[in-house]
Amino acid sequence: MKKIELDIVALSHSVTQSHNYAVVLGEHDGARRLPIVIGGFEAQAIAVAMERMTPNRPLTHDLFKNALEIFQVSLKEVIINNLLDGIFYARLICEKEGEIIEIDSRTSDALAMAVRFNCPIFTYEFILEAAGVVLEESEEAAPAPARKTPGAKSKATSLNSYSMEELNRMLEEVLGKEDYEQAARIRDEINRRKGEA
């Protein structure tokens, strides 16, 4: 079966299921998108790696990556290989000393590992046909939101009133509490101000 390469194009709050998030995968050489609903912890694990944040203690996916590397196992690719009753299934394709090892995985965990290993993500045509959506040209022109959470707008607006020194101190505090969503908002505000300087 021919594999189709995907990229993570957005991570946002799920419109259909409260308390959940959606990771949107985009066809590497096409206009189709594959939205997958994931839990909050899994969204956080993906966001932390995408934003290249360094938590005080390793998250579970970081621990697993470290263990694979110590045992000289490399993650070559992730394949979203099935869709049954609305549930996506994935496999980690690993290599150790030339031998290919396939490991079953939840799709959200597989994506969190793919981001950490910077490896490609694939799926098959039948999955894109069943669950993929095609964006209209006007939708594609607009940049995909990297993250949306309830109340994010009010929190982002309130960050405007803090000095850079206060923002940096707040960033350290929320990283210490492992609140990576708030850390991302603070970091975005710091980067916005640096861009204006």
Distance of CA 147 to CAs 28, 42, 97, 160, 179, Å? Answer: 20, 13, 38, 18, 14
Higher-pLDDT residue of 74 and 52 is 74
124 and 178 fall within a common domain: no
pLDDT at 144 over 60: no
Split at pLDDT 50, 70, 90, the class of 140 is very low
* Residue 146 resides in a domain: no
Same domain, 90 and 21: yes
Same domain, 172 and 86: no
**186 vs 90, which has greater pLDDT?**
90
Instruction: Say yes or no: 46 and 72 in one domain.
Output: yes
Could you tell me if 118 and 160 lie in one domain? Answer: no
Average pLDDT score, the chain = 82
Least confident of 54-68, 118-132, 156-170: 156-170
Q: Are residues 95 and 162 in the same domain?
A: no
Are 163 and 126 members of one domain?
A: no
pLDDT bin (cut points 50, 70, 90) of residue 113 is very high
- Residue 170 domain flag: yes
Would you say residue 147 lies in a domain? no
Residue 37 lies in a domain: yes
pTM greater than 0.85: no
Show which of 141, 172, 187 is a domain's final residue. 141
Cα distance between residue 97 and residue 172, in whole Å: 41
Same domain for 41 and 18? Answer: yes
Number of domains forming the structure of the chain: 2
Is residue 49 assigned to a domain?
yes
Q: pLDDT value at position 71?
A: 96
CB 2 within 8 A of CB 122: no
- 18: pLDDT strictly greater than 80: no
23-55: pLDDT as tens digits:
999 998 888 999 999 988 888 889 888 888 888
Strand order in the sheet with 32-39: 99-106, 87-96, 74-84, 121-124, 3-13, 20-27, 32-39, 133-134
Do 131 and 181 fall within a single domain? no
Confidence of residue 141 (pLDDT cuts 50, 70, 90): very low
Residue where one domain finishes, among candidates 95, 116, 141: 141
Domain extent at residue 171? 152-196
Mark whether 90 and 171 lie in a shared domain.
no
160 and 128 inside one domain: no
Q: Classify residue 67: in a domain, yes or no.
A: yes
Q: Same structural domain for residues 45 and 108?
A: yes
